[in-house]
Structure 1
C-alpha cells in the first residue's frame, strides 16, 4: 500500500459502534494435581451492532473447553485451563472495561480478542498497558497496528500484543482478481459511510483501485442510519456504474439496496463488505440478496484443520450446523484459530506463566491453524501476520439452506479451492 494511502487509512482507523449488554461467562475445566492453572480471557462481540461476528463463538468455546477438559501438558506439567469469555457489546468502552476485568479480577495469563476494531483495539490497548500478552484477529491489520499509534518506518511500540488478520491490500488484490471475471466498464459506484471503516476505505482502498484502472464514483460520505439514498442512486445510474461497492452496517445496506431496486439501479457486480459476511444477513434481503459478491476469511472448504480440536474446516462447519441448526459462519475459523495459536505459543514458552516470556515467544511464532499458517516475524510489520481473504458470491441453493457462498477467486491463498466463476448480479 502506498505510504500516503496508508497514513490516510490510519487517521481514520478508530472506533465507535454502540450495542446492547450481555454478561460474560466463565468455565474452568481440566484437572491439575499440582495445582497449576492457566486462565485465558476471550473477548468478542456477542451483542450489539457487530453481533453477527460473535454468533458462533459459544460453539467454538464449547469445543475448546472439551479439548482442555483433562488439562494442557506444558513443559512437563499438566495445567488446568480456565477460559473466561466476555462480550464487548460491539462497544469500544465496554471492550476496554471487560478486558481490564479479565486482567485485574480474573488474573488472566493471556487474552484472545476478535472481530472489528471496536472490540480488538481497546482489548489490545488494555493488555499492552498492563503487560499481559494478547493475541487478536479479524480486524484489518492496518487499523490495529497503525490505528493504535505505531508509525510507519519506526520500531513497533508494542511488546505484549500480536495480531493476525487480512488488510486493505488483501481486499484490493481480491477485488482486482474477482471483478474482471464479469466484463464491465470498470466504473465503480461506492457507498462508503462517514464512519471509521468507511472513511478509512475511502482514503486507502479507493486509490489502490484507481491504480488498477477503475474509476471511482463517490457521491460522498453518508451518515450511518440514513434512510433516503435517492441522490446517490441517481448518481450511479447517471454515470452508468456497472460495479457497486460498499462497507455499511447491515441495516443501512438493506435500506439502500431496496431503494436501488425500486429505482432501477442494478449493477453487473454488487460487491459488499462488513455486511453480507453471514448467511442470515443476505437471506434477510430476500431475492435481492441472490448473486451479491462478498469476501470470506474462512469457509468449510478451506484445506486446514485445528491443532487444538483436530477438526478439519469441513468438520467444524458441519458440526456447527448439526449443533445449532444454522448455516456455517465464517467466524468459526478465526475464533478457533485464536486457540490454535495460543496453545502453540504456550507450548513454545519455557514457563507459560511468564507473561513477558510468552509475549516474546509469540513475536517469532510459526504455527498452523484453522485458517492456515500463521508466522510472525515475516512482515508486513512487527507484531502482525497478514492473512488471506478470498472473493466469492452468494447464489441460490437447492440444499438445506436457501443460499450458498461459492468461492470465485483465491489470489491471497492459492490453497483454497475455487468453486465457481463470478456471474453478473443483473
Structure 2
C-alpha cells in the first residue's frame, strides 16, 4: 500500500480496521496522518512512528488487541500533538514480523530507510524486540520496546555486567528476572508443596536468561531446582523431561516456552501421569492468553501464571484516554473476545512514547527524543515507567502479579483470571485466593 495514497486521508475507524487487517500479509501499512487535512502538509511537522509487532505466525496472538488499541490511539492523536507550542501531525506505520526475527529486522530497516521514521515502537518477546532494537541502534533511530525480560534485551544484545551501556538509541521497559523471583517465592508459598521445582527452559534468549539468573535465586530461597536442560523450540516429544520430573517428584513445574510448545508438553504430561502430581504449574511466555487456555480444555483450569498487565490494574493510559478496566471492557466489546495482557502492555508502550515525544520538545530531533526517553518517568497502563532509576542504563522495570486461570462461575467467558499474589506489585489489590492445580479445576 502506498503511503502517498494515504497521506491526504484523515483516517476513519472503518478505514483503519480495513487497513489493519492487511498487516498479516506482511506489508507495511500507514494508518494515515492524524491531524493533517492537506496533502501539502510540511513533512517537518509530521511525526512518523514505526510500530512493528507479531501479527501472524506462532506469536501472532500477541498482536490480537492491536486493531482495538490503535483505533483508540488514533482518536487521541486525531488532532495531532501540540509540543512546545508547535503543532504536529502523527503518522503510525504498522509492520508485521510474521513471528520471524529475520523478518522483524527487515521490516524495521524498511521503515527506517524507506519511511524515515522518527521513533520505533516494538513489543512481544526477545525474538521480536532484539532484532528491531539492533536495527535501530545501527541506524541511529530512537526505539522504545516492552514485553521481554529486560535482561534478554540488555545482556542478550551484548551488554556486559559492570561495563558502560553500548546502547545510545534503544530503550526497554519490562519485568526482569528479579521480578519473577520475588513473585514466585511469594506465590509458591501460598500452596503447600515439597519445594521441588521441575524447570523446562528452551534454548533461546528467554530460556538462557532465566537459567542463568532465576534458578540460583530460587535455590537460594530454599527450592530444589531440577533443570531438564535446554531444548529447541518446536520440540514434539517431551518424554525425557517428563520422566525426569516424575522421577524427581517435582510438585512445582515452571516453564518459559515458545507459546505453541506448552500445549504439546502439558498434554503429554497428563498422558504420562505427571500433571496429576503437580500442585503448582507456573507458566511464563505461554499461558498468557485466553485462547491458549481454551485450547487445553479441562487441562487448563488451575494453571498459574504471572501477569504484566491486568484489567484490575489501578492505572490510566494517556495514549488511549482509558483506565485499565475501560481498556479491557472496550477490547471485549469491539472484538467479541476476552481481554488479554498484551492489550494493556502495548497501550503502555504508546503511553511512554507519547510522554517522550512531548518532553523532548523537538520530536523530530532524534538526539533530543532519545534523551527524553532516557529521562522518562511517567505513569502508563502497566504502572510507573522510570528510566532514571533502572537496574541498568537503557532499561526500566515494571511489576508482575501472580494470577491463576480458573473456571468462570459467571459471565460470558470460560476462564477468569484472579490476582492471587502482589508481592512484586503492591499497588495492585488481590482479587482471589491461590489453589493447588488439579486437572478439571
2:302 pairs, out of 291, 298, 303, with 291
Q: Give the alignment partner of residue 229 of structure 2, picking from 190, 195, 220.
A: 220
The superposition leaves residues 203-245 of structure 1 with CA deviations (integer Å, 9 ceiling, x where unpaired) of 2211111111100122333333333333332322222211111
How far off its partner does 1:392 sit? 1.0
1:406 aligns with 418
- 1:159-308 alignment, distance < 5 Å: 159-265=168-274, 266=276, 267-308=278-319
Structure 1 SS opposite 2:157: coil
Deviation at 1:139, TM superposition (A): 1.0
* Alignment partner of 1:330 out of 322, 327, 341: 341
**Unaligned segments of structure 2, at least 5 residues:** 1-23
Partner in structure 1 of residue 81 of structure 2: 72
Report if the CA contact (8 A) 1:29-1:68 is conserved. Answer: no
TM-score in terms of structure 2 length: 0.89
Q: Distance in 1 between matches of 2:381 and 2:153?
A: 21
CA-to-aligned-CA distance 1:264-299 (integer Å, 9 cap, x gap): 222011111111000100110000000000111001
Equivalence for 1:103: 112
SS for the counterpart of 1:280 is helix
State the 1:21 CA deviation.
Answer: 5.3
CA distance in 2, matches of 1:145, 1:362: 16
Change (3 A) 1:52 1:206: same
Query: SS of the counterpart of 2:291?
Result: helix
**Structure 1 CA distance for aligned equivalents of residues 390 and 162 of structure 2:** 12
Aligned CA distance change for structure 1 residues 31 and 197 (closer, same or farther; 3 Å): closer
- Mapped to 1, the partners of 2:53 and 2:425 lie a distance apart of 26
* 1:23 paired residue number: 27
Shift of 1:32: 4.5
Counterpart among 129, 137, 142 of residue 146 in structure 2? 137
| Whole-Å separation in 1 of the counterparts to 2:190 and 2:104 | 41
Within 2, Cα distance between the matches of 1:126 and 1:259? 39
Secondary structure at 1:147 match in 2? helix
Q: 2:431 aligns with which of 419, 423, 426?
A: 419
Structure 2: how far apart are the matches of 1:273 and 1:378? Answer: 25
Q: Which has the higher mean CA deviation after the structures are superposed, 375-384 or 321-330?
A: 375-384
**Change in 2 beyond 3 A, CA 1:31/1:382:** same
Q: Choose the corresponding residue for 2:401, options 390, 399, 422.
A: 390
Matched-pair contact (CA < 8 Å) for 2:49–2:120: yes
**Structure 1 residues 251, 119: closer, same or farther in 2, change over 3 A?**
closer
The alignment of Structure 1 onto Structure 2 pairs a total of residues equal to: 407
Distance 1:259 1:206 in 2: 24
Q: 1:100 to 1:225 in 2, by over 3 A?
A: closer
Change (3 A) 1:30 1:411: same
The answer to whether the 8 A contact 2:303-2:437 is kept is yes
Render the CA deviation track for 1:295-351: whole Å, top value 9, x for unaligned: 110011000011122200000000000000000010011211111111111111221
8 Å contact from structure 2 (residues 386, 397) kept in 1: no
Instruction: Give a deviation string over 1:67-96, Cα, whole Å, max 9, x none.
Output: 111111111121111000111112111111
Checking the alignment, whether the CA contact within 8 Å between 1:377 and 1:383 is kept in structure 2 is no
Alignment partners' CA distance in 2, 1:97 and 1:223: 24
Distance in 2, matches of 1:114 and 1:195, equals 17
Aligned residue runs from structure 1 range 304-383, under 5 A: 304-383=315-394
Residue 48 of structure 1: how far off its partner (Å): 1.7
Point out the more displaced range, 175-184 or 192-201.
Answer: 192-201
Unaligned stretches of 5+ residues in structure 1:
1-19
Residues 408 and 418 in structure 1, CA contact (< 8 A), matched pair in contact too: yes
Aligned 8 A contact 1:297 1:330 in 2: yes
Q: What's the TM-score, normalizing by structure 1?
A: 0.92
Q: Which residue of 2 aligns with 1:126?
A: 135
Give the one of 85, 89, 97 matched to 2:98. Answer: 89
Classify 1:229/1:92 alpha carbon distance in 2 versus 1 (closer, same or farther; 3 Å).
closer
